Amino acid sequence: MANEEEYSGNVKQQLAKLFDASLKAAFPTGPDVEPLVAACTSKFGDYQCNNAMGIFSKIRGQNTEYKKPASVGEAIVKNLPPSEMIESCSVAGPGFVNVVLSKIWIAKNIQKMLIGGIETWAPRLQVKKAVVDFSSPNIAKEMHVGHLRSTIIGDSLARMLEFSNVEVLRRNHVGDWGTQFGMLIEYLFETFPNIEDVNETAIGDLQAFYKASKQRFDSDPAFKERAQKAVGGEPKYRQAWMQICEISRKEFDKVYKRLKIQIEEKGESFYNPYIPGIIEKLSEKGLVEESQGARVIFIEGVNIPLIVVKSDGGYNYASTDLTALWYRLNEEKAEWIIYVTDVGQQQHFDMFFSAAKRAGWLPADGSTYPKVNHVGFGLVLGEDGKRFRTRSSEVVRLVDLLDEAKSRSKAQLIERGKAEEWTDDELEQTAEAVGYGAVKYADLKNNRLTNYTFNFDQMLNDKGNTAVYLLYAHARICSIIRKSKKDIEELKKTESLVLDHADERVLALHLLQFSEVVEEACSNLLPNVLCEYLYNLSENFTKFYSNCQVVGSAEEISRLLLCEATARVMRKCFHLLGIEPVYKI
Ligand code: ARG
């Protein structure tokens, strides 16, 4: 890995360093301020430093040579250390310092990436180890579109962190414990007196089985009482419980396999044995109080307390989550713990995070590590604007949904004549990459907090901001390179990238901003930021390609290098979004 000096990945950070030096030199006696640097799209520059106004208002009235903010801006420019990064600087309006980057420097950095690999552009984060708690369906209940969203968003966040060299524990916090298991187990014993008979085929649809047992539970008090006692440690109960989990797990795995999701199950039951000790620790700190027979933690600003031991003595979602948090911090030594669920669970997370802060497990202000974040997301809606369901108003089976995405994208490819052109394998693989990619991208491209409407026609449209459009764009770039019949590996060594055309420069600068965009998407836990970047990249490429002839031009080598760099960055974006790239179309 390149050392700090050589690190060219993050333009913003490097400029911030230069401006920091300038601010210290121009104002040695203060005020002490952080450099404020941001990319901009004005015609005056590529980046802007916005410190002048703030500094001026702090020193105004003191007897200085600075009579207006613009002169503070001038001083910032004058004291900027010389750097090959910068072509020119100017002060605009009330003191905005505009920076035009050197195109030679931009070209040099892209060449470095081509030779050293995209990993040289990996963001550098402060954390070493993180937990991403995502997907997390409940045993014996259906895995619904909400879990699909959690799976897609969580996987992408995990990928971005992993790319940034963070060790990520990908955790499936499945709901595999609680009173409903007593109910299921008891019902299982009734239906199958001989436990050996229990398997998928015998049970059939686990959700229907769940419903039937719930009915029994609600209508027969004697059954209910037996069910409530069934959550014991007896071997036959344990075995029955494991059978049920296994059946559910097989269902979940079908979805994970299709979407190529890596995740490790550490369900709620795993933390069960640790709960009493943790409640004890919290009690010793004076956090746990009695309230209406239950044991609770009061949270400032919230009128209902967090129940950690129910009035019947049992534990709940909150006791498990507090314990899991403790385990992750102390046993697994994670510094950043990220939970991906629908926004409906916001309050639960806010409350147990507050409890953890009260207990001193986490810093109170939440800005330093160890840190926790709830990554909430909105609903998936159907065409009718209501919660997404199938026609029969049953919940949508996720596997069916994914199968349909694939078969629709396959039909599109056949329509384009690919069945004749390609092998069956190629057709299958592309249909899968495009179909599943479309589902993932449609989800990730929205700000996760907003609800989004599930629409196959829209997500599989080959125009507009869709995975199909982007995957095809990438495939076209690959085909331009192939058709040139040039050996890119050889071209790279020539270091002949020049950015004389305005559209070449815009594209190249956008490529160079990849690292800071990933960093932003990571720090703010917003995959849509990366989607927007990818879409703009594709648009910038289209503009470049329609205005700059590549193959057969005098600039062919340089422009092929730019094509290759674009394809590489696009592929990394796809990878970070969990989408398989397509190389030909
Ligand atoms: N099983 C829960 C659900 O389906 C999600 C669990 C999220 N993770 C957590 N640590 N609470 O809603």
- pLDDT above 70 for 376: yes
With beta carbons less than 8 A apart as the criterion, state whether 453 and 385 touch: yes
Regarding the beta carbon of 492 and ligand 1, being less than 6 Å apart is answered: no
- The number of domains in the chain is 3
133 Cβ inside 6 Å of ligand 1: yes
Atom of ligand 1 nearest to the CA of 147: 4
Are 266 and 408 in a shared domain? no
- Same structural domain for residues 250 and 291? yes
pLDDT in the model for residue 54: 87
Nearest to 534 by CA among 585, 500, 581: 581
Q: How far is the CA of 134 from the centre of ligand 1 (A)?
A: 8
Residue from 252, 263, 345, 395 whose mutation best tests the ligand 1 pocket (most atoms within 8 A of CB): 345
Kindly state if the Cβ of 120 falls inside 6 Å of ligand 1.
Answer: no
* Cβ atoms 123, 164 nearer than 8 A: yes
Q: Which domain holds residue 363?
A: 129-374
User: Model confidence over 416-475: pLDDT tens digits?
Assistant: 999 999 999 999 999 999 999 999 999 999 999 999 899 999 999 999 999 999 999 999
Are residue 185 and residue 238 in the same domain, yes or no? Answer: yes
Question: Does the Cβ of 151 fall within 6 Å of ligand 1?
Answer: no
Task: Find out whether the beta carbon of 176 lies less than 6 Å from any atom of ligand 1.
Answer: no
Looking at the structure, tell me whether residues 188 and 269 fall in a common domain.
Answer: yes
CATH number of the domain residue 68 falls in: 3.30.1360.70
Flag whether 495 is in a domain. yes
492, 541: one domain: yes
Which residue has the least CA distance to atom 11 on ligand 1?
321
- In eight-state DSSP terms, residue 551 is T
Q: Find the distance separating the first CA and the last CA of the chain, reported in whole Å.
A: 35
Is ipTM strictly over 0.90? yes
Q: Is the pLDDT of residue 392 over 90?
A: no
Does residue 251 surpass a pLDDT of 90?
no
Q: pLDDT of 397-423, one tens digit each?
A: 788 889 999 999 999 999 999 999 999
* Ligand 1 atom closest to the CA of 317, numbered from 1: 11
* Lowest pLDDT segment from 143-147, 219-223, 252-256, 349-353: 143-147
Pair 156, 242 in one domain: yes
Per-residue model confidence (pLDDT) at position 143? 84
Q: Is residue 33 part of a domain?
A: yes
For residue 5, what pLDDT is reported? 46
Last-in-domain residue among 358, 374, 390: 374
Give the count of beta carbons closer than 10 Å to the beta carbon of residue 165: 14
Q: pTM of the prediction?
A: 0.93
> Over 60: is that where the pLDDT of 391 sits?
no
Q: Is 504 in the pocket of ligand 1 (CB under 6 A)?
A: no
Residue 381: inside a domain: no
Same domain, 86 and 156: no
How many Å apart are CA 371 and CA 364, to the nearest integer? 10
pLDDT band at 314 (very low <50, low <70, confident <90, very high): confident
Q: Where does 331-466 have alpha helices with state H?
A: 346-358, 398-415, 418-421, 424-444, 456-459
Residue 502, classed as helix, strand or coil, is: helix
Query: Is residue 204 pLDDT above 80, yes or no?
Result: no
With respect to residue 109, please indicate whether it lies within any of the assigned structural domains.
no
Mutate to test the pocket of ligand 1, among 131, 132, 136 (most ligand atoms within 8 A of CB): 136
pLDDT band at 239 (very low <50, low <70, confident <90, very high): confident
- Answer yes or no: is 453 within a domain: yes
CA 217-218-224 angle, to 5 degrees, is: 40
Asked if 424 and 347 sit in the same domain, the reply is no
Q: How many residues make up the chain in this entry?
A: 585
The verdict on 338 and 421 lying in the same domain is no
How confident is the model at residue 142, as a pLDDT?
78
Q: How many helices (H) and strands (E) does the chain have?
A: 24, 14
- Give the tens place of pLDDT for each residue, 151-186: 999 999 999 999 999 999 999 999 998 777 888 888
Task: Out of 193-197, 226-230, 249-253, pick the least confident.
Answer: 193-197
pLDDT recorded at residue 2 = 39
Query: In which residue are the tokens 């006692």 written?
Result: 229
Same domain, 422 and 571: yes
pLDDT above 70: residue 555: yes
Of the two residues 505 and 3, the one the predictor is more confident about is 505
Instruction: Tell me what percent of the residues of the chain surpass a pLDDT of 90.
Output: 71
Does ligand 1 have an atom closer than 6 angstroms to the CB of 321?
yes
Provide DSSP, 93-155: TTTEEEEEEPHHHHHHHHHHHHHH-GGGG----S-SEEEEE----BTTS---HHHHHHHHHHH
Atom in ligand 1 nearest the alpha carbon of residue 340: 7
Q: Which of 133, 144, 148, 173 to mutate to test the pocket of ligand 1 (most atoms within 8 A of CB)?
A: 173
pLDDT at 66 over 90: no
pLDDT grade, residue 393 (50/70/90)?
very low
CA separation (Å) from 319 to 277, 294, 297, 548?
A: 11, 12, 11, 62
Whole-number CA gyration radius for the chain: 28
Tens of pLDDT, residues 32-60: 889 999 999 878 899 999 999 889 888 88
pLDDT at position 262 over 70: yes
- Is residue 116 situated within a structural domain? no
CATH of the domain at 506: 1.10.730.10
Q: Is residue 353 lining ligand 1, measured as CB closer than 6 Å?
A: no
Looking at per-residue pLDDT, the higher value among 525 and 193 belongs to 525
Question: In this predicted model, which residue has the larger pLDDT, 532 or 248?
Answer: 532
Averaged confidence pLDDT in the chain: 91
Distance CA 417, CA 420 (A): 6
Say if 241 falls within a structural domain.
yes
Q: Take atom 5 of ligand 1 and give the residue whose Cα is closest.
A: 136
**Is 312 contained in some domain?**
yes
Task: Specify the higher pLDDT residue, 315 or 208.
Answer: 315
Check if 441 has its Cβ closer than 6 Å to any atom of ligand 1.
no
Question: How many degrees, rounded to 5, is the angle at CA 563 between CA 560 and CA 568?
Answer: 130
Do 451 and 359 share a structural domain?
Answer: no
Pick 205 or 67 by higher pLDDT: 67
| Binding site membership of 564 for ligand 1 (Cβ less than 6 Å) | no
What does the pLDDT average to over 96-115? 95
CA 143 to centroid of ligand 1, rounded, Å: 12
65, 158: one domain: no
pLDDT at 4: 45
Residue nearest to atom 9 of ligand 1 (CA): 173
Q: What is the CATH number of the domain that holds 157?
A: 3.40.50.620
Q: Is the CB of 10 under 6 A from ligand 1?
A: no
pLDDT at 395: 54
